Amino acid sequence: MALKIVKGSIDRMFDKNLQDLVRGIRNHKDDEAKYISTCIDEIKQELKQDNIAVKANAVCKLTYLQMLGYDVSWAAFNIVEVMSSSKFTYKRIGYLAASQCFHEGTDVIMLTTNQIRKDLSSPNQYDTGVALTGLSCFVTPDLARDLANDIMTLMSHTKPYIRKKAVLIMYKVFLKYPESLRPAFPRLKEKLEDPDPGVQSAAVNVICELARRNPKNYLSLAPLFFKLMTSSTNNWVLIKIIKLFGALTPLEPRLGKKLIEPLTNLIHSTSAMSLLYECVNTVIAVLISLSSGMPNHSASIQLCVQKLRILIEDSDQNLKYLGLLAMSKILKTHPKSVQSHKDLILQCLDDKDESIRLRALDLLYGMVSKKNLMEIVKKLMLHVDKAEGTTYRDELLTKIIDICSQSNFQYITNFEWYISILVELTRLEGTRHGHLIASQMLDVAIRVKAIRGFAVAQMATLLDNAHLLTGNTQRNGICEVLYAAAWICGEFSEHLEDPMQTLEAMLRPKVATLPGHIQAVYVQNAAKLFATVLRKHDGETESQAAQETSQLLIDRLPLFVQSANLEVQERASCILQLVKYIQKLQQKNVEVAEEVTALFAGELNPVAPKAQKKVPIPEGLDLDAWINEPPSESESEDEKPKAVFAKEEPKHSRSRHTEVDEKELARRREVRKQEQANNPFYIKASPSSQKVYDAPGVEHIPVVQIDLSVPLKVPGMPMSDQYLKLEVERRQKEKAERKKKEKKKKREKRGKERKADSGPESEEDITPAHQVDIVTEEMPENALPSDDDDKDPNDPHKALDIDLDKYVPYCRHLQFIHVLHIVYDIQGNHQDESKVVVSVIFENKSDSFLKSMEFNVLDSLNSKLQRPEGAGAHDSLTVPFQLPPGQDTHAFLFVSSVSVSIVAVCIDCFLMQSDESSTHEKLDFKLHFTCTSYLITTPCYSDAYAKLLESGDLKGSSLRLEGINMPFHHLLARICFHHHFSVVERIDSCASMYSRSIQGHHVCLLVKTTVSIDAKCDEPSLLGNVLDEIKQTFSKC
Amino acid sequence: MIKFLLMVNKQGQTRLSKYYEQVELGKRAALEADVVRGCLARRKEECSFVEYKDYKLVYRQYAALFVVVGITENENELSIYELVHNFVEVLDKYFSRVIMFNLDKVHIILDEMILNGHIVETNKNRILALLALDKMAES
């Protein structure tokens, strides 16, 4: 034996420890995988040895390997072995490994329940601590259920080190086993006032986390937090509390008003930037939740903005970043106060840090107005030119477009300017956002009718200079723009000055190198242009130009017919045939223009993207019903196709042979038109659009003539600036005119009154350059309201949405109507088994202030109130606090129980209260002690359990529960949780459970899925009472 | 709440990782690589907060060592930034030089400071109390 031990320790000397492993991996850079696999082999050998030190060392190394990404789940059982070592150094290694490697799917976790329970109740606080830490990482719903009571007890441990950990772990337990929240809540609340700041902070953390998800349940804690906020000096805790208030204020505006003052004080006084930042954030949140009719709060906003400005101006990039982040929150509700700092934010665009620049861009998005849009975009365009790196430049590009297009182009007063901005953006090298620019061009050209003439001219220029965009193959993204250009030129070709030239540009051989979908649009729109050209030369006899056009198409289209892209090929050959036919007609001097134009008549209206989804299902339409009954299964398969053919054939022949005379056709057309007119879902051609081809409608003439001529056909030259200048001039002119008018008026009114001078130009004064009729997107008439539910059903926090103010079935309540509300809970005391702890919450329901309360218990044979030393047997305890109206607080009472046989007892208590008028009142009440209170969850191994049953000391009894229909594991969970039992073993249809009273009586249960309980105990009266209580618990549900 | 904490060297190798919310082993490597790439690529003059998916990352560089913390969006960036510094100071106090070979001890320190994704202790002496005990047991 001795030899074996010596041999073991010599072996150990040659084992690699973690340090060797780390060093070894470093030294084997070339064949790391191979080295590690040999290490794993060694570890496997080490794990087979009996020596726990060797095993712990091996597990320690595995933890490192796991971190490197190696699967070590095969060693889970060894980890459990090391966890159960009695030596702390090894136990710690085991728990560390478990916390890193275990997860809900790890099956050996089942085996750990009793070990963890043992460690939790260990006299060594570090054993308990390490178990708690480990548990926080791998707690499963089962563990949470089984250990909830133990951890709850630890929340009142004597050592703050344990208390704070237990409090934090409870949050994980709540998540995994939501039922535990309600009974644990009173104790959690009481920890907010723990004498140890660490425990306090832990409780604040947990409640913050709970309240973030379901704030309304925690509103009642606001006064307590308010007190904490004004008393705590720990910044980490303050930050959490302030955050919590941020979550609560939207629910309780009065709270917000109260908060502003202390928060502003903190903002003024604190030197900690993190706290300052949090305060500013919360003040913003509070002000957002308050109604806007609070004029005196503009000072708070000003203060926040000022402080944020200081942050943004700081040389510390972190502060700068956070300042911008917070600024964007203010922007949403108080844009005016932020807008005055435009200069600062524009400066941030020059920052070296990309994330700061992006934040600044976000801010600019919200800062634009009709007045400053052009100026801001001009600055951004300069940045686009300077920007390094395509990602940032692309970001700039999208932001420019976002800024301009936001809320339906609300801020754009001059669409010519916008189109020219878009055209300028096409000159960006290497951007990925050609598609975005293209969709903007299409959007504007379609929806702003007045701009079409200008847009078409610009697009024609683009098409003409397509080589600039496609010249470099790397600039592929941008050629998407040509898609839009071609479509716009085609669709609105009536605005083209020289359609022939554009047509020529669209049919250049170079086009064949463009992506297929763009070519397809080119071909299709070439046909539209063709129609336009024909119409232009309509009426001219023997029009040379029209015939030339046909010839051009016939010459160029074959190139596209050969295209590998099916879409291009199909369209090209179709149109080629058409043109050939037209050419024939032309040669016969037949008027064709009108008919060709008719091919493309009608206007496309924009349809809202959601329109299709919103179409309600008509009454009586059942989408699940079969249109044709499916063939019965008995039919043999080869019969089916026959039947289909036989049915279809006559139909075909009929339709082909029906002759319909002209009259009939006209009648049908009329009927169809009528139908369409009545159908809200049919996209109609507006009456004006049909006129387009006869004579352009009045509304198509731009209100402002573009005779302020800007050279349009200078490719490669930015021109939006010129529009900016023109716009400024225009506004000045307008302003001057307005002033003139005002002066005129004044002159007329002279002598009567003096008018105030016109202040700076306000937003409303700016009139758009165009009568812009933005066509709104069509939606079906009776669109269904959207019912988007953005709540995630899988959110674990949903289960924690428990109204904690509601009746708590597991704590007992006593209520003296209008005066005092008492909630109490009784738990066995782990530290001293002759005592039970009664925690009591007093809540003052009256309107008056409770100055002092005394609490007394008439001691009985069974129970005694633990009084301070020196106090007489009948002295009462003074409750150490005063109660303002509407508040509640906690007290602890230790009651020692000296009964030999425990039965449910009642303690007679009375309470003295006095209010402001110094009236005294005595309230009598009874605390009902259930037997469950005396049971302590105690682990029991199955062999010990079997022995206990065999010993014959226990007397049996049984119980049937009626009308229970819950899953078996829920039933077990309830018994475990409410009656302090633990599951010893579970075999298919039954489970054995165990618990022990504080006087050491054993209680054994055998619960069957048939919901009958066989129970055994060495104290019959205890057993009877426990069974009665179990029955009661289940009768409540 | 803190989602994870990583210690990474300049080459981007993970030296220590701690997750406060279960992440599959297979996905950890990808996540770490992604996170580290995002932080290492940043220059000194750029700020220490990075938005990453639905997290925020707070990182700090100490010589060749990066500490990266992933937090939820409701966490205060600056307080975490200070926490990282506090953590490194504790490490500095306990280890004379190389911490690489004592990763289990670093874990202990970390577990004393952060539990369940929340800060539990920031006092250096109290954090190191457990390790002092451990040292006594070893000697």
At A756 the pLDDT is 43
CA gap A808, A556 in Å, rounded: 84
Please check whether residue A502 is in contact with residue A482, taking contact to mean a CB–CB distance below 8 angstroms.
no
**In chain A, what is the greatest distance between 2 CA atoms, to the nearest angstrom?**
129
What is the mean predicted confidence (pLDDT) over A776-795? 55
Residues A923 and A947 in one domain: no
At A780 the pLDDT is 60
Taking the alpha carbons of A219, A221, A223, A229 in that order, is the dihedral positive or negative? Answer: negative
Domain ranges of chain B: 2-138
CA gap A368, A390 in Å, rounded: 25
Chain A residue with minimum CA distance to B79: A274
CA gap A552, A555 in Å, rounded: 5
Residues A907 and A951 in one domain: no
- pLDDT at residue A480 greater than cutoff 90: no
Residues A922 and A953 in one domain: no
pLDDT-derived band at A485 (thresholds 50, 70, 90) equals: very high
Tens of pLDDT along A222-262?
888 888 888 888 888 888 888 888 888 888 778 888 888 88
What SS3 class is residue A604? coil
As a whole number, the mean pLDDT across chain A is 76
- Half-sphere exposure (Cβ direction) of A648: Cα atoms closer than 13 Å: 6
CA gap A40, A37 in Å, rounded: 5
E strand or H helix that includes residue A440? helix A434-447
Residues A828 and A872 in one domain: yes
How many structural domains are present in chain A?
Answer: 3
Q: Which residues of B touch A100 (CB under 8 A)?
A: 18
Query: Which residue is listed with tokens 């949780």?
Result: A977
User: Which has the closest alpha carbon to A378: A329, A330, A414?
Assistant: A414
Across the interface, which of A19, A99, A278 has its CB nearest the CB of B101?
A19
Beta bridge partners of A911: A855, A923
CB contact under 8 A, A317 and B82: no
CA gap A645, A588 in Å, rounded: 46
User: Which has the closest alpha carbon to A428: A465, A463, A477?
Assistant: A477
Please give the structure tokens belonging to residue A866. 């633990």
CA gap A672, B116 in Å, rounded: 69
Is A893 or A264 the better-scoring residue by pLDDT?
Answer: A264
Q: Which residues of A touch B17 (CB under 8 A)?
A: 67
Residues A872 and A980 in one domain: no
CA gap A857, A543 in Å, rounded: 117
CB contact under 8 A, A205 and B118: yes
CA gap A681, A612 in Å, rounded: 9
At A905 the pLDDT is 42
User: Which has the closest alpha carbon to A174: A202, A139, A217, A198?
Assistant: A139
CA gap A129, A125 in Å, rounded: 6
Distance, C-alpha A46 to centroid of its chain:
47
- Cα of A332 to nearest chain B Cα, Å: 18
- Cα of B88 to nearest chain A Cα, Å: 17
Residues A901 and A981 in one domain: no
pLDDT-derived band at A998 (thresholds 50, 70, 90) equals: confident
The DSSP-derived string for A692-720 is TTTS--GGGS-SS-TTS------TT---H
Q: Which residues of B touch A99 (CB under 8 A)?
A: 111
| Domain contains A118 | no
Is A676 or A135 the better-scoring residue by pLDDT?
Answer: A135
Across the interface, which of A22, A161, A277 has its CB nearest the CB of B78?
A277
Please check whether residue A823 is in contact with residue A811, taking contact to mean a CB–CB distance below 8 angstroms.
yes
What SS3 class is residue B9? strand
Least confident segment among A54-63, A211-220, A282-291, A408-417: A282-291
Residues 6+ apart with CB under 8 A from A164: A196, A198, A199, A201, A202, B120, B121
Chain A residue with minimum CA distance to B138: A89
CA gap A747, A769 in Å, rounded: 29
Q: Which residues of A touch B49 (CB under 8 A)?
A: 318, 321-322, 355
Across the interface, which of A171, A243, A318 has its CB nearest the CB of B116?
A171
Give the helix ranges, DSSP H, for A935-1018: 942-950, 968-979
At A880 the pLDDT is 64
- Cα of A330 to nearest chain B Cα, Å: 17
ipTM, two decimals: 0.91
Distance, C-alpha A467 to centroid of its chain:
45
At B85 the pLDDT is 93
CA gap A298, A341 in Å, rounded: 16
CATH number at residue A946: 3.30.310.10
Q: What is the DSSP secondary structure assignment for residue A98, as one 8-state letter?
A: H
| Domain contains A818 | yes
Please give the structure tokens belonging to residue A620. 């009586």
Please give the structure tokens belonging to residue A95. 């728990």
At B137 the pLDDT is 65
At A690 the pLDDT is 40
Chain A residue with minimum CA distance to B129: A126
Strand pairing report for A863-865 and A888-897:
antiparallel
Taking the alpha carbons of A969, A975, A978, A982 in that order, is the dihedral positive or negative? Answer: negative
CB contact under 8 A, A317 and B45: yes
Query: Which residue is listed with tokens 């906003």?
Result: A301
Query: Which residue is listed with tokens 């260990």?
Result: A122
- Cα of A321 to nearest chain B Cα, Å: 7
CATH class of the region B2-138: alpha beta
CA gap A151, A137 in Å, rounded: 15
Total CB pairs under 8 A between chain A and B: 130
At A713 the pLDDT is 40
Please check whether residue A292 is in contact with residue B93, taking contact to mean a CB–CB distance below 8 angstroms.
no
Q: Which residues of B touch A388 (CB under 8 A)?
A: none
Q: What is the DSSP secondary structure assignment for residue A934, as one 8-state letter?
A: G
CB contact under 8 A, B134 and A92: yes
The DSSP-derived string for A441-502 is HHHHHHHBGGGHHHHHHHHHHHHHTHHHHHSSGGGGGGGHHHHHHHHHHHHTGGG-S-HHHH
Query: Which residue is listed with tokens 């040659």?
Result: A14
Residues A925 and A941 in one domain: no
Residues A951 and A905 in one domain: no
- Cα of B87 to nearest chain A Cα, Å: 14
At A1037 the pLDDT is 60
Tens of pLDDT along B28-39?
888 888 888 888
| Domain contains A296 | no
Q: Which residues of A5-44 are buried (b: 16+ CB within 10 A; e: fewer)?
A: eeeeeeeeeebbebeebbeebeeeeeeeeebbeebbeebe
CATH number at residue A885: 2.60.40.1230
Strand pairing report for A920-929 and A935-936:
unpaired
Residues A978 and A871 in one domain: no
User: Which has the closest alpha carbon to A207: A180, A168, A155?
Assistant: A168
CB contact under 8 A, B74 and A18: no
Amino acid identity at A106: T
Please check whether residue B109 is in contact with residue B90, taking contact to mean a CB–CB distance below 8 angstroms.
yes
Q: What is the DSSP secondary structure assignment for residue A410, as one 8-state letter?
A: T
User: Which has the closest alpha carbon to A774: A1035, A996, A451?
Assistant: A451
CA gap A535, A592 in Å, rounded: 9
Chain A residue with minimum CA distance to B28: A69
The DSSP-derived string for A275-297 is HHHHHHHHHHHHHHHS-S--GGG
Tens of pLDDT along A725-744?
777 777 777 777 776 666 66
CA gap A101, A72 in Å, rounded: 7
- pLDDT at residue A659 greater than cutoff 90: no
Tens of pLDDT along A816-848?
445 666 666 776 666 666 677 776 676 776 666
Range of the domain at A972: 937-1035
What is the mean predicted confidence (pLDDT) over B45-56? 86
Give the helix ranges, DSSP H, for B19-116: 25-40, 77-94, 103-113
Cβ count near A338 (within 10 Å): 24
CB contact under 8 A, A96 and B108: yes
E strand or H helix that includes residue A897? strand A888-897
CB contact under 8 A, B77 and A198: no
Residues A898 and A968 in one domain: no
| Domain contains A1017 | yes
At A637 the pLDDT is 46
E strand or H helix that includes residue A732? helix A720-749
CA gap A244, A209 in Å, rounded: 8
CA gap A308, A276 in Å, rounded: 10
Across the interface, which of B45, B83, B108 has its CB nearest the CB of A352?
B45
CA gap A581, A575 in Å, rounded: 10
CB contact under 8 A, B47 and A320: yes
Please give the structure tokens belonging to residue A205. 């953390």
What is the mean predicted confidence (pLDDT) over A938-944? 79
For A228, counting Cβ atoms within 10 Å of its Cβ (0-12 exposed, 13-18 middle, 19+ buried), the class is buried
The DSSP-derived string for A169-209 is HHHHHHHH-GGGHHHHHHHHHHHTT-SSHHHHHHHHHHHHH
At A240 the pLDDT is 87
Across the interface, which of A89, A100, A165 has its CB nearest the CB of B137?
A89
CA gap A254, A277 in Å, rounded: 23
